[in-house]
Amino acid sequence: MSRSEGNPKTEKKLLENPFVGSLVVPIAIVLVGALIIFGVTTMLSTDRSYKDLVREMQSKTFGNRWIAAYELSKLIATSSVPAEELPWLVTQLSSVYNESPDPRTREFLIVALGALKHPMVVPTLEKGLSDEAPLVRFHALVSIGNLQAPSLVNWELVKPFLDAEDHGLRHAALLALAHHRVDGAEEILERKLDDDVAGVRYAAALALIGYKNEKAVPQLTDILLNQGGVDTALDEEQLIQLQINILEHIEREQWKLLSGVLSEVLSLKANPRLTTKTQEVLNLLKN
């Protein structure tokens, strides 16, 4: 099944999907979820190597380059490319990206390059930030968030997305800045606690746990106690996943300031999974 090329309604729907715009899963899993949402769910598996797929994308007679790009993104995500081959592969994929008129092909090429996490991918990911297709820009932001060499990124190209009209782009930019602790990110996160989109506010509050920033406490309290400030668009399972994600961050940072809130969560005797995780984190904080 393929998507209609260049359909703005389809692109907008993806970026506004609550699974993409919420915090129930880490960045890397958000990326996988986005691939599923593309609608390419019936692709046949093949035994083609990454070199075969690159040749197909480079062939002027091959009609469905985006399918080869999709297959390559899957292959890279599930297997390793020899280190000595990475420079060659990055060069080839970047060249195809620069020459491709099809936004679907460019989308999956950005996903594939991001999965490589090689320093050489940075220039093409940065180019993807100015791509005309919203989905390409989104995946470029997500890929930058997953990089292992963030010092090579020109973060001034990322920051404007914090005020993008599409909240999916705002969210992805915020998470990328927070994940890499970019200079000034904490102040940006504080401002986004007042964003008009709940998912962006939640992203900011979650990220601020890493700074043990007390300005995030009211938002985190609302979420953990399921108070009036929680987005009603979240269903029960999404809310629980978000709450558990917050607990895992509190556990990792051992932020004792939130011990009182966790005790309140226990007193509610809510979902068993939430109660069990809350007790586990509270026990750790008390030790």
Q: What is the dihedral of CA 242, 244, 247, 251, to 10 degrees?
A: -130
Map the chain to HEC letters.
CCCCCCCHHHHHHHHHCHHHHCCCCCHHHHHHHHHHHCCCCCCCCCCCCHHHHHHHHHCCCCCCHHHHHHHHHHHHHHCCCCHHHHHHHHHHHHHHHHHCCCHHHHHHHHHHHHHHCCHHHHHHHHHHCCCCCHHHHHHHHHHHHCCCCHHHCCHHHCHHHHHCCCHHHHHHHHHHHHHCCCCCHHHHHHHHCCCCCHHHHHHHHHHHHHHCCHHHHHHHHHHHCCCCCCCCCCCHHHHHHHHHHHHHHHHHHCCHHHHHHHHHHHHHCCCHHHHHHHHHHHHHHHC
Which token pair is 99?
Answer: 């020459």
pLDDT reported for residue 231? 65
pLDDT reported for residue 16? 41
pLDDT reported for residue 5? 41
How many angstroms separate the CA atoms of 72 and 262, rounded? 44
Please state the separation of Cα 241 from the chain's center in Å: 16
Instruction: Extract the residue ranges of the chain whose pLDDT is less than 50.
Output: 1-45
Q: Which domains does the chain have, with CATH numbers?
A: 8-183 (1.25.10.10)
pLDDT reported for residue 77? 84
Which token pair is 205?
Answer: 């509050």
pLDDT reported for residue 271? 87
Give 135: exposed, middle or buried? Use CB within 10 Å, 0-12, 13-18, 19+.
buried
Query: Angle at which helices 50-58 and 65-78 pack, to 10 degrees?
Result: 160
How many angstroms separate the CA atoms of 17 and 36, rounded? 12
Query: Angle at which helices 198-208 and 185-192 pack, to 10 degrees?
Result: 140
Give 28: exposed, middle or buried? Use CB within 10 Å, 0-12, 13-18, 19+.
middle
Residues 1-33 pLDDT 10s? 434 344 444 333 334 433 333 343 343 334 433
